[in-house]
Amino acid sequence: MDNSKVVENIYLLVIVTLLSVLQNAFFAHKVEKECQHNKTPAFQRLSCASRNCMDVYPTFLAVMWCAGLCLSQAPAAFAGLIYLMVRQKYFAGYLGQTSQSTPGYLFGKRILFFLLLMCVVGILNYLLVRFCSRNYKEYIDTITSAASTLLLIP
């Protein structure tokens, strides 16, 4: 199996993963910088925001990669990109730098739900192909790509 054949199917997912890693590094850097002034309220907030982000991170990665592998990578990577933007906004809102977001425990639920739905559709399509030899992949791909733009609505 040639490497470039594998990369063809996942390169968008890899790019989004790399961006998420850079964002993690940014969060960790922020926390580390505030770490000297331990016990200040700012550090508590930062640490809490970073922890909430990191708690959901494996779930996000798992769902995005499954959606990308089972259905198609472009909408999955697009949804992943929007998730990263939502996370950035959530983190900034937690710091109190902006007043545009109201931090809670969870964020980006809609995007994760969309990715989850993509996985389910992908699995169902695979089972249909296998047991009924019907392939709706093309229709599904079109619908998914169209639906992914709906995520842009705030």
10 Å CB burial of residue 13 (0-12, 13-18, 19+) is buried
Q: 104-118 in b/e burial notation, b at 16+ Cβ within 10 A?
A: eeebbeebbebbeeb
Site string for a copy of itself, 82-121 (x = CB under 8 A): ----------------------xxx-----x---x--xx-
For residue 31, the minimal CB distance to a copy of itself (Å) is 6
| CB closer to a copy of itself out of 25 and 42 | 25
Neighbouring CB atoms inside 10 A of 120's CB total 14
CA dist., res. 122 & res. 131, Å (int)? 14
| CB closer to a copy of itself out of 72 and 148 | 72
Which residue of 75, 90, 122, 148 would you call a contact of a copy of itself, by CB under 8 A? Answer: 122
Could you say which residues in the range 19-78 bind a copy of itself, by CB under 8 A?
Answer: 20-22, 24-25, 28-29, 31-32, 35, 51, 54-59, 61-63, 66, 69-72
> Are residues 83 and 137 in contact, defined by beta-carbon separation less than 8 angstroms?
no
CA dist., res. 111 & res. 11, Å (int)? 20
CA dist., res. 42 & res. 84, Å (int)? 23
Does 143 interact with a copy of itself (rule: CB under 8 A)? no
Query: Could you list the residues that contact a copy of itself (CB under 8 A)?
Result: 1, 3-11, 14-15, 17-18, 20-22, 24-25, 28-29, 31-32, 35, 51, 54-59, 61-63, 66, 69-72, 104-106, 112, 116, 119-120, 122-123, 126-127, 129-130, 137
